[in-house]
Structure 1
Amino acid sequence: MGAVKGLLGGYKNYKYQEQELQETGFYSFKWRNYMPDLGRFFNIDPLTEKYPLWTPYAFSGNRVIDARELEGLEPYLHYNTLDAAAENFAVQYNSTSIVLNVELGTTFYTGKTEDGKTYYSYVLPQGQINYDKNGIQIPGTSALVDLEIPEGTTKAGDGHSHAADMAGRKKNYDEDDNKMSGQDIDSARGSGDWSKRSIQYVVTPNGQLIIYDPNLDAPKGRKNGTVKTTVPIPSDPLSPTRKNKQDPTICPVCDPLIIDSNGQIVVPKVLEPANDKNNKTK
């Protein structure tokens, strides 16, 4: 097992993902024990009900290459900056948001690694689809934000997508889905309570990532400004102000949690590649 005993006989061998290797050969995560020889936990994830689309024995959300297991609970990725975490959220989830025409929300957080380095990440995005009295989906239902963050971390901001661009789908549509709304800005300012102010990101259907930083020392360009991204954000082909040609075809590595007003889980969808002339969804 390669364990190294301390002077008092206790095992002090912190190896895989900085977790302690026990005499039994198990890695002792805070909430579950991991069996490296089988490559799985032998305890059910305490957050099973939070992630109904995953097996209760999954390790790091089945993202064993780019994600870390958070104390036996859920996967999380490290980003060097808050903007980088927000960009990943935008790239990963705007396709589903556009195709299903539902706003998806998340909460960003920050923490420190064992060696003292600061990192940023975000929780699994969530959304809700509501129907009118005739059973027809209400477009762009408000996203769920201010979500619970992992223990030992600090909230860094909130973010949500703006679903599909209704200007390309509805005549005489007088709202602009491609800008931060007054409500978004008010939320960033704490809705009247300055102590609750929080950086807000909005992912627009035309392929932009917009930020509003309410802090007094924030640069002017970060107060309702556009964040420059390293890769194109999926955009709505029907948007009259589309900023790029990246179709909403990107499947997120971890599916968002979307529930409708009937309490049913909605299966995420994205657009099939452009070579499918029927433009079906999957």
Structure 2
Amino acid sequence: MRVMDPGDKFKTKIEAANDFAKYYNGTSIVKGKEFGSAIYKNEDGTYSYTIAYIGSKAGTEINENIPEKSSRESAIHTHGKEDKGYDNNNFSETDKSAAESYGQNEYVVTPSGQLKEYDVTTKTSSEPTGASKTIPSDKKSGEARVNEVKAKDTKPIYIDPKTNETYNEKKK
């Protein structure tokens, strides 16, 4: 399946999450910065995700600017590159707290190449059914690395939430 773009439509929430993971995780690893989006349900029952906000190596805001007549279903973000001092391949307490405040499961894409879901009901995280096995991963993840998909900067479109400036390096 080819990687789509933010705003494109997917049959399921997991398909949208997988696409976000493939679209942003390589760049997140290369730049060492987190990216965050909201996953939303369209009027026609399909799912999409917003253009991601770019954050720092230790966090990001979630772009909550979803279209009218759609509903927020989840948040998703990357954890950047493998970085000493951080538990990059798991949800942070801040991540869990954010999910619980919305009462919605949340997704994280890890440097090891995994898509994980935090369940707000059971307060556990796991790889959801249907998660892609071909998400870019950081070779520095060592034994935690789940595949050999090389992380590269795909030049995705993203927004700097501090300036509200949109970056779209592919179209330059």
Compute the TM-score of the two structures, normalised by the length of structure 2. 0.83
Residue deviations 1:72-103 (CA, integer Å, cap 9, x gap): xxx72111111110110001100110001000
Assess, with a 3 A threshold, how the Cα gap between structure 1 residues 97 and 155 changes in structure 2: closer, same or farther.
same
The equivalent residue for 1:86 is 17
The equivalent residue for 1:39 is none
Gapped runs of 5+ residues in structure 2? none
The equivalent residue for 1:155 is 72
Residue 189 in structure 1 maps to residue 95 in structure 2: no
The equivalent residue for 1:238 is 140
Residue deviations 1:6-25 (CA, integer Å, cap 9, x gap): xxxxxxxxxxxxxxxxxxxx
The equivalent residue for 2:110 is 204
SS, match of residue 140 in structure 2: coil
Give 1:92's aligned amino acid.
Y
Contact kept, 8 Å, 2:28 with 2:79, in 1: the verdict is: yes
Q: Quick one: distance in 2 between partners of 1:128 and 1:179?
A: 18
Q: What's the offset of the Cα at 1:223?
A: 3.4
Residue deviations 1:133-175 (CA, integer Å, cap 9, x gap): xxxxxxx1411115111011000010110001013xxxxx3x3
Query: What is the percentage of aligned positions where both structures have the same residue?
Result: 28
Contact kept, 8 Å, 2:54 with 2:159, in 1: the verdict is: yes
SS, match of residue 238 in structure 1: helix
Residue 255 in structure 1 maps to residue 124 in structure 2: no
Which of 42, 65, 87 does residue 176 from structure 1 map onto? 87
Query: What are the residue-to-residue correspondences of 1:128-147 with 2, within 5 Å?
Result: 128-129=55-56, 140-145=57-62, 147=64
Which structure has the highest helix share of the two?
2
Residue 96 in structure 1 maps to residue 13 in structure 2: no
Residue 107 in structure 1 maps to residue 38 in structure 2: yes
Runs of 4 or more off by more than 4 Å in structure 1? 261-269
Contact kept, 8 Å, 1:258 with 1:267, in 2: the verdict is: no
SS, match of residue 22 in structure 2: helix
Gapped runs of 5+ residues in structure 1? 1-65, 68-74, 130-139, 168-172, 191-195, 270-282
Residue 126 in structure 1 maps to residue 61 in structure 2: no
Structure with higher Rg: it is 1
Contact kept, 8 Å, 1:81 with 1:119, in 2: the verdict is: yes
Q: Quick one: distance in 1 between partners of 2:164 and 2:69?
A: 31
Which structure is higher in RCO with an 8 Å CA cutoff and minimum separation 6? 2
Q: How many residue pairs were aligned?
A: 165
SS, match of residue 80 in structure 2: coil
Q: Quick one: distance in 2 between partners of 1:265 and 1:123?
A: 12
Give 1:246's aligned amino acid.
V
Q: Quick one: distance in 2 between partners of 1:149 and 1:163?
A: 24
Q: CA RMSD in A?
A: 2.7
